[in-house]
Amino acid sequence: MPRLVISTVGTSLLTNQIHRSDPKDWEDMLQKSANLTQEQISQSCHEVLSIINQLEQRAKNKLNNGNTLEIRDASAELNGIYGLYDEQLESSKRDHHFLITTDTKQGQVTANIVKSFILQQKKDRKLSLEVEVYTPEKLSTANNKVFNQGIDNLLDWLDRRANEYKEKNYEIYFNLVGGFKALQGCMNTIGMFYADKIIYVFEGAKSNLITIPRLPITVDYSRLTDHVSILARLDAGAGLSLSQTEKVPEAMVAGIDGKMTLSNWGQLIWNQCKDNFLSQELQEFPRLSYEHSFIEDYKNISTAKEKVKLQKTLAKVSYLLEESNCNIRALAKPVSYYAYGGTEGIDHFYVGMEWRVSCKMSNIKLEEISKRKLELRHYGTHKYVERKEGI
């Protein structure tokens, strides 16, 4: 089977190139600037940028001119990759590699050195593997808030990628030999849900590979059954009050700027079970009401995937209406909300490109605006909904 190999990338490839003859403060300067982005270093840390450029060139020379042992010794990331293939890169077949790096100058430089080296090996040896660098937005160890936001973005990307490659019958490997310790720790846990195998390398001269299979972890998803509507809205981007989420299992949520959101681990757990929950009965969401015709259309949906897509859209519509006090203008761009011409207040919004939901805002007096709801009438293809609405 081809493999999807996800490797965490650190900065040891750069720091390993510091020589005894170099100024003693180089390592300290690199450590202090480890969480700075490309832009930050370019604007105010010209001396650090010069150091990074020199170490980058040394690292490239070491990889391009070194033997296998020297290459593995220079780069923790390549040490894991070489170990995976028992030093025979020709066995990589149609494997696809992603190098996960922090949103920092040093991380970007290191990842691109490794990427360039692998691409050169691909060219020289006529290999069929592919390699890309992925940098989750805001992923750095600058502080806990930023790190958690970066992990959220990484989880979203991993969930999509893992499902995409599983459908192509790829095995998924997490190569955690390199990378910052905080990122390695998170990826080790995440790997128990997404990776078929996690690989490390024994320290020492032989650099033997350690392969850890996925543990048989079972999560009690039944504890989430009564909270599906809340979790779906949090996943859609809602920030809810503490009182709205107080009954949700504590590990699933986290407070940010006075609002409750999905925690990193809450997102991880929800990603594993949301399709199952959202492909079953129609959920009740605030600010939405369902006419009998809409409920019947939902029952007639033939695939679980389509139900999931619809309910994710309903969760988004719900939280946007809640945040805007039921102002339909808030839906215009997020779900392509439009009025139907020639009708009495009947509107519609998109569920992807193919499907539509027709709807009508409830007729409520101004003083009762808090009770206002969007009444959903029909769901189906564009032509089906227009026909049902007599358009």
C-alpha 250/C-alpha 288 separation (Å) is: 27
Is 198 within 8 Å of 211 (Cβ atoms)? yes
pLDDT surpassing 80 at residue 249 = yes
Task: Say what the pTM is.
Answer: 0.81
Q: Are residues 88 and 145 part of one domain?
A: yes
Q: What whole-number percentage of the chain has pLDDT above 70?
A: 97
Helix (H) or strand (E) holding 103: none
Domain count, the chain: 3
25 and 173 part of one domain? yes
Last residue in a domain, options 213, 246, 267: 213
Whether residues 332 and 269 fall in one domain: no
pLDDT value, residue 204: 55
Encode pLDDT of 92-101 as tens digits. 989 999 999 9
Same domain? For 51 and 135 the reply is yes
Give yes or no: residues 8 and 157 share one domain.
yes
Assign 366 a pLDDT band (cuts: 50, 70, 90). low
Same structural domain, 188 and 59: yes
CATH number of the domain where residue 374 is located: 3.30.2310.20
Domain ranges, residue 230: 219-278
> Do residues 77 and 11 touch, judged by C-beta distance below 8 A?
no
Do 252 and 236 lie in a common domain?
A: yes
291 and 376 part of one domain: yes
Please give the pLDDT value at position 369: 66
Q: Is residue 96 located within the same domain as residue 156?
A: yes
pLDDT digits (tens, 9 = 90+) for 349-362: 999 999 999 999 98
Asked whether residue 189 falls in the same domain as residue 57, the answer is yes
Are both 109 and 249 inside the same structural domain? no
Q: How confident is the model at residue 201 (pLDDT cuts 50, 70, 90)?
A: confident
pLDDT of residue 93: 86
Q: Which amino acid is at 66?
A: G
The residue with tokens 């049902």 is 388
